[in-house]
Amino acid sequence: MNTMLDIFNDDAFSVTSLTDALRDTFYKPGRIAELGLFSRNAVSTTTISIERVGEILKLVSPSPRGGPGETRDYPKRSLRPLSIPHFERDFAVMADEVQGVRAFGSTTALQTVQGIFMQKMQPNLVDFDLTEEHARLGAITGVITYADSSSLNLFTEFGVTQETEVDFDLDAASPVDGILRKRCTQVIRTMRKRLGATPFDSVHAFVGDNFFDDLLQHKEVRETYKGWNEAQILRESYVGKNRSSNPMFEFGGIVWENYGAIGDQNMVNIGVNTDKARFFPLGVDGLFKTYDAPADYIETVNTPGQRLYAKQFPMQNGKGIHGEVQMNSLSICLRPGSLFGARRT
C-alpha cells in the first residue's frame, strides 16, 4: 500500500476505535430521546420476535354453592417476528486529502488524519440522528415510515384497532363552556381504558402548529391563565427549559407540546401534521423500545448490537480509503393500542 495511507492501519482506525469515537463525540439526541421514552436494547440477531398475550379482565359470575364454577377463557399467545432495518452511509478519504500531514511516528499527523476522517463522517451522523428521531416519532404515532417510502404499521402487526380520533372542534365560534376540559378528560379515560391494569404517570401530546395555536387561543385555556403574572406564566405555563425548545404547556391534565414540522424544501420535515395531535402515556415501563442489531462485519456478527458502527478499508487502486457508518435499529411501541390522536376540527 502507498506509505501515505499506512497511517490507516493504526489502531485508531479499527472498527472498535472508530465506533467509540462516534458514540463519544457526535451523538446528539433529539427531542424524543430527551424525553427518555425509548430504552435501548442490544440484540445479537437481525430480527426480533415479539410475543403478545392478550389481557382481558372479566367479572366473575355468581355460581350455585356446591356446584361447578365457570371456566375462564384464556387468550392465546402469538409470536410476531420483526426485521431490524439496516441503514448505511458510505464516504471516502482520498490520498491527496492527507498529503503533507504524513510524518513517520508523528502523533500530530495521526490526529490530523483522524480529524479529516471524522469531518467526512459528521454530516452522515447528523442524518442518522434525524433518521432515528423520525423512526421514533413514527413509533409514537403507530406507523413508522422510512426514507424509501417503506413502512411498518404497528397496529396491523399487533392486530390492534386504532382508537378513533377525538374531534376537539377548535374552530368553533361559540364553544360550549367546559367542552375543552371534557374532551381532555375523554382522552385520559381512553388512555386508561387502552392500558387496562397498567398504570401510567401522565398523558403527553405532540401537537401540530395549527392545532397548538388554536388551543392556546381557546377561551378555556385563556381563562385558566388569567390573573397570572408574566413570571408565573414563564415559570409554570410553558414547561420547556427554554424558549428555543418546543413550546408546551399543561391543560386539562395533558401536557401539550408543539412538535410541528420544522424545515424547508432542502430539509426533511419531521413533525406532527399541522391540524393533528398525537397522545401517548408517560411512565409506562418498557412501552417504547429501540432494538440495536450488530453490524454486518466479521468482527461484529453475533455480538450485542450498538447504535452506530464505523469502518474503513483501502481502495483497490491505493488512492484512498473507503469509510462507512451504519445503524441497525428498530424503534417500536409494544402496546400500540395506547396510541391515538385528535384533530383540530
Kindly state whether residues 13 and 98 are assigned to the same domain. yes
Q: Is residue 157 part of a domain?
A: no
Q: What is the mean pLDDT of residues 150-163?
A: 93
Q: What is the pLDDT of residue 97?
A: 78
Whether 170 and 211 have beta carbons less than 8 Å apart is answered as yes
Kindly state whether residues 184 and 247 are assigned to the same domain. yes
Query: Between residues 266 and 140, which one has the greater pLDDT?
Result: 140
Q: What is the pLDDT of residue 318?
A: 78
Mean pLDDT of the chain: 82
Q: Of 123-127, 172-176, 177-181, 293-297, where does mean pLDDT reach its minimum?
A: 123-127
Q: Is residue 22 part of a domain?
A: yes
Q: What is the pLDDT of residue 4?
A: 45
Rounded CA separation 97/91 (Å): 13
Kindly state whether residues 82 and 129 are assigned to the same domain. yes
Kindly state whether residues 91 and 237 are assigned to the same domain. no
Q: What is the pLDDT of residues 236-292, one digit of tens each?
A: 555 555 555 788 888 999 999 999 876 544 556 688 999 999 999 999 999 999 999
Q: In the chain, what percentage of residues exceed pLDDT 90?
A: 48
Kindly state whether residues 116 and 137 are assigned to the same domain. yes
Of these ranges, 11-25, 74-88, 212-226, 279-293, the one predicted with the greatest mean pLDDT is 279-293
Q: What is the pLDDT of residues 6-57, one digit of tens each?
A: 555 656 557 666 666 566 554 455 789 888 899 999 999 999 988 766 644 4
Closest CA to 205 of 187, 182, 186: 187
Of these ranges, 69-78, 132-141, 218-227, 268-277, the one predicted with the greatest mean pLDDT is 132-141
Kindly state whether residues 106 and 181 are assigned to the same domain. no
Q: What is the pLDDT of residue 75?
A: 60
Cell, residue 92: 471516502
Kindly state whether residues 196 and 260 are assigned to the same domain. yes
State yes or no: pLDDT of 179 exceeds 70. yes
State yes or no: pLDDT of 76 exceeds 90. no
Kindly state whether residues 140 and 240 are assigned to the same domain. no
Question: Residues 6 or more apart from 104 whose CB is under 8 A from it?
Answer: none
Q: Show the domain range for 242.
A: 162-285+336-343
State yes or no: pLDDT of 310 exceeds 80. yes
Q: Residue 193's domain is classified under what CATH number?
A: 3.30.1930
Q: Is residue 59 part of a domain?
A: no
Kindly state whether residues 148 and 173 are assigned to the same domain. no
* Alpha-carbon distances of 25 from 11, 118, 304, 308, 342, rounded to whole Å: 18, 10, 21, 12, 39
Q: Residue 35's domain is classified under what CATH number?
A: 3.15.30.10
Provide the number of structural domains found in the chain.
Answer: 2
